[in-house]
Structure 1
Amino acid sequence: MTPIDLTTPIELLRPPRVVFGAGAAPETGRWLRGRGLTRVLVVADAFNAARVDLLGLEGAVTVFADIKPEPDVPNLEALLAVAGRVEPQAVIGFGGGSAMDLAKLAAVLPGSGQTIHEVVGPEKVADKRAVLVQVPTTAGTGSEVGTRALVTDPATMSKLAVQSVHMLADLAVVDPDLTLSVPPAVTAATGVDALAHCVEAYTNRKAHPLIDLYALEGIRLVGRFLPRAIADGNDREARAGLSLASFYGGICLGPVNTAAGHAVAYPLGTRHHIPHGAANALIFPHVLAFNAPAAPVKTAAVLEALGLPPATEPAAVLDAARGWCLRLGCRMRLSEFGVPETDLPRMAEEAHAIRRLLDNNPRDLSREDILGMYRAAA
């Protein structure tokens, strides 16, 4: 893998205001009031819809709480219908990546004359229609800092990816205390999702020294704090460390993005409704090991940052990374999620078609390579 050097141009986008820290959630309402924004649409899952009061909102607040774990086009259309009725001045994503991704689209599509299919791809969104605030309640996706939104198209069983500067949050409020209620299994899966963002950006063909700094520190934070947060969900320092790791992972996604790990994991979510974090955890060791020959120095650095002995030989890398995930309690077999072996070739075909991610990978993957990973994880 030929490294990108410091002379290579790169653009780093972040929300113009970020508030980070325990107890920061009410800053959402204060910030909106300071701007005279009183007609608000909150996009949340059912659990977070029941605690919207933590945001300190006033005025006409509408809550859309019908968020699917892997949102699809009908789910988005139901939200857009509500947004079209409410005509919000501000949209708040309050939840995990699903809520925040849908909030991005609700801030740009209603009244624009554009449909979801017309804005798929980079920079096709016309403009921003409402102020966007993102408040994550899990530590995994980093969506609060990103400009991408993904929804599943039921007709093709594939992810529609929209990227636009107009979907960058005007305010991101990262309050780690909002993650204290996340159960151990979800903490593990979302933590490995944050890790995967950092690792895939760090070992990416487009990896850049500007982003490597965030990526490697994100990996270190996950290695240090994820086992602690799983062991004790009320460990506030560990929760804060993971929220920061997730935020760093989100920074990595903008200019560099993910690679084969996410591409290989996506069919697990679209076809079998395996939660995104759990799918990434299951696939992560296999892709890290596959890429080791193309990025040996960085692979060893990843393992070391996780507190594991550095290794570059694929079998040793696989054993180390898989053992680490198993110790976190992650389910590491497709059979544990009810994925039939007869579906693996079709999944490999679908994953191989996700060129926007696979083309970032430091090592080319064939359909057979992907099928081999699925079979090794079966």
Structure 2
Amino acid sequence: MNTLSMPISMIRPPVIEFGVGTAERLGVWAAQRKYRRILVISDAFNASRTKVLGLAGEVTVFGEVRAEPDIEDLTRVLAAADQANAELIVGFGGGSAMDLAKLAAVLSGSSQALADVVGAGKVAMPRRAALAQVPTTSGTGSEAGIRALVTDPATQSKLAVESIHMLADIAVIDPALTFTVPPKVTAATGIDAMAHCVEAFTNRKSHPAIDLYAIEGVRLVGRYLARAVAEGNDAEARAGLSLASLYGGFCLGPVNTAAGHALAYPLGTRWHMAHGAANALIFPHVLAFNTPAVPEKTAMILEALGLRHSNTIGSVFEAAHAFCASLDIEMRLSKIGVPDTDLGIMADDAFSIRRLLDNNPRDMSRADILAIYEAAY
């Protein structure tokens, strides 16, 4: 755990527009900068409502983004970016759309390929196009970050790219865009936002400068997630979750996630489980596992969520599990079609994600990971 005297780098988009009805401010911003050729990267649903962004000029929409995008998806996006020759690239959707927009911004027109930039700080040149991010879910916080993930179908693993050149020039967070998100997706993405905050807060790299965003993000989820699940048009609840998601994004750059995300990733890459739902299923197990290493911070997390607990691993698990289950999230691997014969393979996958596991406050062996999968089964 870092102290106040430890150096830390905090990077945010230079312009952040937040609040109900702010989506059209993107068009104003783009017009002021005279961007005329614009590419919007989106999923099919959001591709049908790009007019809310108020963009003018030659606007091309790539509306084929899928959840958990892979290298082939990125190839199609890059072809669209090359054809559009855009001055501005907009990620409009969930984390998948925003991550692909980041990669398109730095790879389109570049001599570098994806393989050249996987890892941290490997993007050689500044991008040729401006980048805007407009989230339509409250979970990933990708609008505020400098990382992007795609799946390699050959290895069924996540490829992570990190670069300052993928920081958005503007992030527009309009909670009204999330009103249409279904209850189950609202619940899962809300837990994803919370997981970013929790894993940063309990991280070996945690820092007081980030802790305040992390614990407030958890508090916002505890206060507003159930409300948004029950009533999608609750503007205050939606705004609370959008802010929690943004705070989670603030946590990801300087600190990042840990074992929770490492164990959730194989559920998405191998079994195509939605990222938020995978994080929700894993969350109680990892929070409980880490309790002996960070008992005070664990107590603060549960208090922020409004949950009763004691300091025992069992009580922490029960409280966190009940919180997720109360949102009608599936909490058993066997119920989503994962065969028990795959648990060992998933444990191998998760144990290899050292960039996250090495952040965890408590060492987690392959046997520990397998035991968690078995308990979640």
TM over 0.5: yes
Rate the CA distance shift 1:311–1:38 in 2: closer, same or farther, 3 A. Answer: farther
Picking from 59, 70, 73, the partner of 1:72 is 70
Aligned partners of 1:283 and 1:270: how far apart in 2? Answer: 15
Aligned partners of 1:329 and 1:304: how far apart in 2? Answer: 21
Q: Which amino acid counterpart does residue 225 of structure 2 have in structure 1? A: L
Aligned partners of 2:154 and 2:72: how far apart in 1? Answer: 11
Paired residues of 1:25 and 1:175 also in contact (CA < 8 A): yes
Aligned partners of 2:369 and 2:220: how far apart in 1? Answer: 29
1:313 is aligned to 312
Three-state SS of the structure 2 residue aligned to 1:140 is coil
Deviations 1:140-177 (A, max 9, x none): 00000000000000111100000000000000000000
> Taking structure 2 as the reference length, what is the TM-score of the superposition?
0.99
Aligned partners of 2:135 and 2:84: how far apart in 1? Answer: 23
Residues 71-90 of structure 1 correspond to what in structure 2 (within 5 A)? 71-90=69-88
1:232 shift after superposition: 0.7
Aligned partners of 2:25 and 2:249: how far apart in 1? Answer: 21
Is 1:364 aligned with 2:363?
yes
Three-state SS of the structure 2 residue aligned to 1:255 is coil
Paired residues of 1:301 and 1:310 also in contact (CA < 8 A): no
Greater mean alpha carbon deviation, residues 127-136 or residues 249-258: 127-136
Paired residues of 2:309 and 2:315 also in contact (CA < 8 A): no
Three-state SS of the structure 2 residue aligned to 1:197 is helix
Picking from 7, 10, 13, the partner of 2:8 is 10
1:118 is aligned to 116
Three-state SS of the structure 2 residue aligned to 1:320 is helix
Q: Which amino acid counterpart does residue 233 of structure 1 have in structure 2? A: G
Is 1:229 aligned with 2:228?
yes
RMSD (Å) for aligned C-alpha atoms: 0.6
Picking from 21, 40, 43, the partner of 1:42 is 40
1:204 is aligned to 203
2:342 is aligned to 343
Paired residues of 1:181 and 1:233 also in contact (CA < 8 A): yes
Q: Which amino acid counterpart does residue 305 of structure 2 have in structure 1? A: L
Picking from 55, 59, 63, the partner of 1:61 is 59
Runs of 5+ in structure 2 lacking a partner?
A: none
Deviations 1:42-97 (A, max 9, x none): 00000000000000011111111111100000000011011111110000000000
1:4 shift after superposition: 1.4
1:28 is aligned to 26
Aligned partners of 1:115 and 1:336: how far apart in 2? Answer: 39
Runs of 5+ in structure 1 lacking a partner?
A: none
Residues 157-168 of structure 1 correspond to what in structure 2 (within 5 A)? 157-168=156-167
Q: Percent identical across equivalent pairs?
A: 65
Aligned partners of 2:375 and 2:186: how far apart in 1? Answer: 25
Paired residues of 2:138 and 2:245 also in contact (CA < 8 A): yes
Greater mean alpha carbon deviation, residues 333-342 or residues 254-263: 333-342
Paired residues of 1:28 and 1:55 also in contact (CA < 8 A): yes
Paired residues of 1:19 and 1:172 also in contact (CA < 8 A): yes
Q: Which amino acid counterpart does residue 51 of structure 1 have in structure 2? A: R
1:253 shift after superposition: 0.2
